[in-house]
């Protein structure tokens, strides 16, 4: 059996890594872009809580880059929302009080605002 040179081994490894890298996104793309509902994503909501209209729904823009993928609005103003690694949610208003759902985060923000208006969070 011929001995494999270092160059041949590295070339083979690079080719295998490239092939694996190309195959992974192709198999992941349909799930991400196929329009299927993520079973772990919270359900949309639209309600009046303590006189404030709170709404939540899956998001694709705005602050979705924080991994939340979910938009919450209070009286039409977006509440900056983030999902923690343990599955809890925090907002810019109640940052140190994690809650189990975006609806709970919206309600906690309304409680914390005590009637004050929610100001838009800078997109930067």
Model pTM? 0.64
Q: What pLDDT is attached to residue 122? A: 77
Q: What pLDDT is attached to residue 115? A: 94
Q: What pLDDT is attached to residue 41? A: 80
Average pLDDT score over residue span 108-116 = 95
79-86, Cβ contacts within 8 angstroms, sequence gap of 24 or more: 79/105, 79/106, 79/109, 79/118, 79/121, 80/121, 81/105
């Amino acid at each position: 059996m011929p001995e494999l040179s270092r160059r041949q081994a590295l070339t083979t490894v690079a080719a295998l890594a490239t092939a694996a890298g190309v195959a992974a996104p192709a198999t992941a793309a349909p799930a991400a872009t196929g329009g299927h509902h993520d079973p772990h994503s919270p359900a949309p909501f639209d309600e009046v809580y303590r006189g404030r209209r709170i709404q939540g729904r899956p998001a694709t823009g705005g602050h979705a880059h924080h991994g939340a993928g979910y938009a919450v609005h209070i009286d039409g103003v977006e509440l900056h929302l983030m999902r923690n690694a343990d599955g809890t949610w925090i907002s810019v208003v109640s940052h140190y009080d994690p809650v189990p759902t975006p609806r709970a985060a919206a309600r906690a923000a309304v409680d914390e605002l005590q009637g004050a208006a929610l100001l838009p969070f800078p997109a930067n």
